[in-house]
Chains A and B, each alone.
Chain A
Amino acid sequence: MVREEDAKEENSPRVWDEKPNLTKPKVTEKNDVDAAFGECAAVVEGTFSTPVQLHHALETHGNTISWTEEELTSWSSTQGISGVRHDLAQNLKVAESKVRVICEYMGGGFGAKFGPIVEGVLAAQLSKQAGAPVKLMLTRFDEALAVGNRPSSFQKIKLGAKADGTLHAFDLDSYGTAGIGSSGVSEGGGGGADFPAPYIYKIPNIRAKQSGVAINAGSARAFRAPGHPTASFGMESIVDELAVKMNIDPVEMRIKNDTSEIRRKEYALGAEKFGWKEKYKKPGSSPGPIKTGVGCAGATWGGGGRGTKAEAIINPDGTVEIRCGTQDLGTGSKTVIALIAADIFGLTPEQIVVRVGDTRYPASGGSGGSTTTASVSPAIYDVCTKALAELQTQAGVPDAKGENWAAACKKLGVNPLHVNGQWQEGLSSSGAGGVQFAEVEVDTETGFTKVKKITCIQDGGLIVSKLTCESQVNGGIIMGIGYALYEQRVMDRTSGVVLNPNFETYKITGLADVPEIEVVLLDMPERGVIGIGEPVTIPTASAVANAVANALGVRVPHLPMTPERVLEALGKYKPAPAAQPAAA
C-alpha cells in the first residue's frame, strides 16, 4: 500500500492489522454551513492535491560519535544540540554530564533533524564496540526513505461569499498521508496529515473534516512550516477561483477578507511594487502559445522567542567572545550574534568571536518554528548590555564603547570578565505576516512553466541582519518553487520502492529555474525580533499556482504543476487508467 487513493479504501489491505488505514476524521464545525451556502451569492468547489515532499537538506542526516570511558562526544548534524544530548543520555543510559554534543555548522535541517535519531544511537553503540570514533552519515538514497517528509493532501473544498465578496461559508473534506505512522499521532510536532483550515481567512460558517491515511512508506516529520504550504495551496486556490467567478480582483478579494492588518498593508504595498494593476489580466487572455499570468497569496506564522542563555567573555586585550548553546542551521545565527554584540560594544562584527553549537555553552533551545533569531537576539542583547555595564564599573570608565574599549579592557588586569545573560520578555514577539506575488510564463504547447518573478513582502518585526534575512527569504521562495513545480516522492505500487531517491528524478529547483526575486522587509523595530524562516516558503507555491491559472484560464489543481498536468488541465492530454500492479 503506497498510494493514498488505494490505501483509504475500506477493503484495502491494512498497514496495521488492528485498525483501518483511514483515520476517523478530525472535525471542526462552526454554525450551520449548509444553510450558510444558501445565503451566498457565489459558491465555488474544487479538488486539490499536494504531494509528499521529501526532506532533502543538502547535508544528509548523521553524526560522528566517540564514546570513551570519560565522555561520549557527538559531532551531530542537528537542529538542537541540547535535545541530542538529553536523548543520547537517556537512550544509552549515560550521565548527561558525560555527554557532549557539538554542531558548529550544519547544512540544513528544515524540521527533520531533532534528536539523535537512529543514526545517533547506532553510531554511539558502534563507537563503544569499536573503541574508536564512528562516522555515520546517511546517503541520499537513505534520505528519500527514512528521514521524514511533508505529508500529502487531497482537499475537496467548497467556498461561498456574499454579494460584496465577503467570505461566508467554507467546507473542507481532506485526507493525506504522513506515511506508516499516519493512523497514529503525528510525529515530530506538526508532522501529521492535517493542516490549519480554513487557512488565514476568518469565515463565520465552517465545516472541516480531515483524515490521515496510513501507507507503507516513510513517516512524516516537521517540514518547514508544517501544514501551512499545504493549507495555503488549497485555500488560496479556491479564494482565487471565487474572485474570478465574482469578477473581483484577487488582491482586492484578499484585502477585503484578510483580518490581518499587516497583510492588508503588505498586499497594497506589494501590488504597487510588483505592478499588479498593469500585469493582472483576465485569465487566459494573453496572446500566443506562451502565456503569462500573475498570482498572489499570503502566509501567517508564529516565530516568537523563548528562553536562551548566553555568556560574554571580555579579555584584558580587548578581544571578545560570545558563547551561546544554540546552533547555526546555515541561516546566519553566528552573524546575528556578532552584529548585536558589535553594536552594543561599539566594535565591528569581525572583532567578536562567536562560539555556538556546543552543549558546554549556556543552553539555548532547538532551532525549530522559526524561533532561533527571536530567542537568541534578546539573550545576546541582555548579556552584552550587562557586560558593558560591568566592564565600565570594574574599569572605572563611564563609557567603554568604541574608541575607549581597548583602554577600558586593559584595566581588567589579568583575568577576563565573564558575564551571563538571558532572553528577556519584550525584545521579541510572534506573528509574522507575509504575502507573495508571482509572475509566470507557461508554454501551452509543451506544458512548461517558468517562474519569471516573485515579489515577497515580509514582516519580521525588528530586522537584525538584512543580509541573512533576505537570504532566508530567497531560500524559502526557491523551496516553494520546488513545491510548486518539481518536487514529489514517487513510489512503485508493485515493488513498494521509492522510485526517485536522487536529484535526477526527485527534481528540485535549479539555478536556471530561480526567477528574479524582489524582497521587501517591513522593518518594524517596535515589535521586537520575529523569525521568518518558515513563513517565507508558505505562499510561494500558491502564488505560482494562481499565476499559472491566470495565464491559462484553467487551473492546474495538483502540485507539482508538471508539464504533464498543465497539458492535462488544458485538455491536450487525457491520462490513461493506471496500470494494474504486477502480481507479486
Chain B
Amino acid sequence: MNAFQYATATSPASAHELIGDNGRYLAGGMDLLSELKEYIADPKILVNIRGLPALSKIEPGQQTWKIGANATISEIEDHAELKKTFPGLQQAAADVGSRQIRNSGTVGGNLAQHSRCWYYRHRDVHCLKKGGDLCYARHGDNRFHSLFTGCTCISPVPSNLAIALCALDASVTVAPRSGKEKQMTIPELYAAAWRDPEAHNSLEHGDLILGVQVPAQGRRSSYIQMSAKSEFDWALVSCAVAAKVEGNKLSQARVVLGWVSNIPYQVEAANKYLEGKELTESTANEAASMILADAHAHSDNGYKIPIAQTLIRRALLQLKA
C-alpha cells in the first residue's frame, strides 16, 4: 500500500472540498482498502465520510423509504420492518460477503464498489479497465464474466444491493462536486459501465452518494443468488424480482439479473410480457427465455445461462408465498 493523506469530512461540502482531484471517499473501506493493498488504487487522500451527519438512517415511509448511504449492510439485513416490506432487498443484503464485511460495508460503498474481475484485481495485469489496451478476460479465463455487454470490458457489476434496488425501482441521491443534488435511477447509476470499459458506474469524480429512495407500492420482492460455496462467496448469477401479485396475477413486474452484465441486467420486453399474466412456472420460464435470448457466452461462462434460467423462475415463483 502506498502512503496517502487522511481527512474526515464533516459535511458533503467539506467532503467535496477535501477530495480534490486524486482522492477517494472512505466509508466501510471493504472495497477501497483491498484496492489500496493490491496497488490498484493510488489516491493522494482518503476522505472519511463515515461521520457525515444524518446519512446512516433507515427511514420507513408510506410512499417511500429512505436509506442513508452510510447505513451498513447489516442494518439492512437486520431491519425487521424492511424485511417485511422489501424481502428481496433484505435477502440481497444478507448474501453480501461475511457478517464482518456486512457490519463494516455501507449501502453507498456497496453500490459504488469496483469490478471484481480477476484481471482487474491482479496487481501485475494492466487491463483495459485500468487503462490498458486489452480485455484479458475475453482472451483468457472468463468463467465469472458477463453474458451481456455494451463495450469491450466484460466484467460484471458486483453489487448485490444494486440488483435488488433496481427491481424495486429505487433511485439514488447523489451530490456532485459542483451543482445541485441529482436523483439517478439504478439503470442511470450504471449506464456508463455498459458503454465505457473503464467505468465501474456513472458516478463522476467527487460525486457523493447520499442515500437511496425505495418506493413502497405494495409490491412483493425476492432475491436469489447462486455461488460456488454456501456462504461468503460472490454470486455466479443472482436474480431479483419485484411485482404486485393480486389473485395470482402479476403487475408492475421487474426482473433483474446480477453477475451477467456490466449493469443490473433487465429486458423491458420481459417485464412487459409479465404484466397481467398468471404467476405460473411456464410464465416464469417464458420470461426467462426472453431475458436470456441475447446472451452471448464466452469460452468459459456459458454455464451461467442455465443457472440464470433457473434463478429467474425460482425468484418469480417465490413471489407466490
Is there a chain B Cβ closer than 8 Å to A580's Cβ? Answer: yes
If the complex has contacts A495-B124, A567-B306, are A576 and B230 also in contact, measured as CB distance less than 8 A? no
Complex CA–CA separation, A573 to B236 (angstroms) = 15
Interface pairs (21), CB distance under 8 Å = A141-B123, A485-B228, A486-B229, A493-B141, A495-B136, A499-B122, A507-B228, A507-B233, A510-B229, A512-B229, A563-B226, A563-B228, A564-B300, A567-B306, A573-B302, A576-B299, A576-B300, A578-B300, A579-B140, A579-B298, A579-B299
Query: Hey, what's the 0/1 contact readout for A286-318 against B, CB within 8 Å counting as 1?
Result: 000000000000000000000000000000000
The 6 nearest A-B residue pairs measured at CB: A512-B231, A512-B230, A564-B303, A582-B139, A445-B310, A579-B299
Q: By the criterion CB–CB under 8 Å, are A582 and B141 in contact?
A: no
Residues of B within 8 A of A445 (CB): 306-307, 310
Residues of B participating in the A interface, judged by any CB pair closer than 8 Å: 116, 118-119, 122-125, 134, 136, 138-144, 226, 228-234, 236, 297-300, 302-303, 305-307, 310-311
Complex CA–CA separation, A535 to B299 (angstroms) = 37
Complex CA–CA separation, A7 to B229 (angstroms) = 31
Residues of A within 8 A of B302 (CB): 573-576
Shortest B143–chain A CB gap in Å is 7
Complex CA–CA separation, A581 to B140 (angstroms) = 6
Q: By the criterion CB–CB under 8 Å, are B229 and A499 in contact?
A: no
Complex CA–CA separation, A580 to B302 (angstroms) = 17
Q: By the criterion CB–CB under 8 Å, are B230 and A450 in contact?
A: yes
- Determine chain A's interface SS by DSSP, over half rule: loop
Residues of A within 8 A of B143 (CB): 564
Q: By the criterion CB–CB under 8 Å, are B141 and A563 in contact?
A: no
Q: By the criterion CB–CB under 8 Å, are A493 and B310 in contact?
A: no
Interface positions of A from 484 to 537, Cβ below 8 Å from B: 485-486, 490, 492-495, 497, 499-501, 504-505, 507, 509-513
Residues of A within 8 A of B124 (CB): 495, 497
Complex CA–CA separation, A499 to B139 (angstroms) = 13
Q: By the criterion CB–CB under 8 Å, are B303 and A563 in contact?
A: yes
Is there a chain B Cβ closer than 8 Å to A280's Cβ? Answer: no
Complex CA–CA separation, A149 to B229 (angstroms) = 22
Q: By the criterion CB–CB under 8 Å, are A576 and B229 in contact?
A: no
Q: By the criterion CB–CB under 8 Å, are B298 and A510 in contact?
A: no
If the complex has contacts A499-B119, A510-B230, A577-B299, are A563 and B140 also in contact, measured as CB distance less than 8 A? no
Shortest A489–chain B CB gap in Å is 11
Of B300, B307, B311, the contact of A447 (CB 8 Å cutoff): B307
Shortest B58–chain A CB gap in Å is 27
Is there a chain B Cβ closer than 8 Å to A446's Cβ? Answer: yes
Q: By the criterion CB–CB under 8 Å, are A568 and B229 in contact?
A: no
Is there a chain B Cβ closer than 8 Å to A201's Cβ? Answer: no
Shortest B305–chain A CB gap in Å is 7
Residues of B within 8 A of A562 (CB): 228
Complex CA–CA separation, A341 to B303 (angstroms) = 58
Shortest B217–chain A CB gap in Å is 31
Residues of A participating in the B interface, judged by any CB pair closer than 8 Å: 141, 445-448, 450, 485-486, 490, 492-495, 497, 499-501, 504-505, 507, 509-513, 562-564, 567-568, 572-582
Complex CA–CA separation, A191 to B75 (angstroms) = 49
If the complex has contacts A573-B305, A575-B299, are A582 and B229 also in contact, measured as CB distance less than 8 A? no
If the complex has contacts A499-B118, A564-B303, A575-B299, are A446 and B310 also in contact, measured as CB distance less than 8 A? yes
Residues of A within 8 A of B310 (CB): 445-446
Residues of A within 8 A of B233 (CB): 507, 510
Q: A493-B140, A497-B122 are in contact. List 10 more A-B contacts (CB 8 A).
A: A448-B226, A490-B141, A492-B136, A492-B141, A510-B230, A511-B231, A564-B300, A568-B303, A575-B302, A582-B136
Residues of A within 8 A of B303 (CB): 447, 563-564, 567-568, 573, 575
Most chain A C-beta atoms within 10 Å of own C-beta, residue among B119, B229, B236, B305:
B229
Quick one: closest B residue to A499, CB to CB? B118
Residues of B within 8 A of A448 (CB): 226, 228
If the complex has contacts A499-B119, A512-B232, are A576 and B136 also in contact, measured as CB distance less than 8 A? no
Residues of B within 8 A of A573 (CB): 302-303, 305-306
Q: By the criterion CB–CB under 8 Å, are A494 and B229 in contact?
A: no
Shortest A411–chain B CB gap in Å is 57
Q: By the criterion CB–CB under 8 Å, are B307 and A563 in contact?
A: yes
Residues of B within 8 A of A512 (CB): 229-232
Residues of A within 8 A of B236 (CB): 563
Q: By the criterion CB–CB under 8 Å, are B116 and A504 in contact?
A: yes
Q: By the criterion CB–CB under 8 Å, are A576 and B307 in contact?
A: no
Complex CA–CA separation, A141 to B125 (angstroms) = 14
Complex CA–CA separation, A499 to B116 (angstroms) = 12
Residues of B within 8 A of A450 (CB): 230
Complex CA–CA separation, A582 to B136 (angstroms) = 7
Quick one: closest A residue to B123, CB to CB? A141
Quick one: closest A residue to B311, CB to CB? A446
Complex CA–CA separation, A447 to B230 (angstroms) = 13
Complex CA–CA separation, A510 to B231 (angstroms) = 7
If the complex has contacts A492-B140, A564-B303, A581-B140, are A576 and B226 also in contact, measured as CB distance less than 8 A? no
Quick one: closest A residue to B308, CB to CB? A446
Complex CA–CA separation, A445 to B118 (angstroms) = 26
Residues of B within 8 A of A572 (CB): 306
Shortest A278–chain B CB gap in Å is 26
Q: By the criterion CB–CB under 8 Å, are A575 and B300 in contact?
A: yes
Complex CA–CA separation, A466 to B72 (angstroms) = 44
Complex CA–CA separation, A448 to B140 (angstroms) = 24
Quick one: closest B residue to A508, CB to CB? B229
Most chain A C-beta atoms within 10 Å of own C-beta, residue among B119, B228, B236, B305:
B228
Complex CA–CA separation, A513 to B232 (angstroms) = 10
Q: By the criterion CB–CB under 8 Å, are A499 and B141 in contact?
A: yes
Complex CA–CA separation, A33 to B215 (angstroms) = 73
Complex CA–CA separation, A499 to B302 (angstroms) = 20
Residues of A within 8 A of B134 (CB): 494, 582
Q: By the criterion CB–CB under 8 Å, are A567 and B307 in contact?
A: yes
Complex CA–CA separation, A501 to B140 (angstroms) = 16
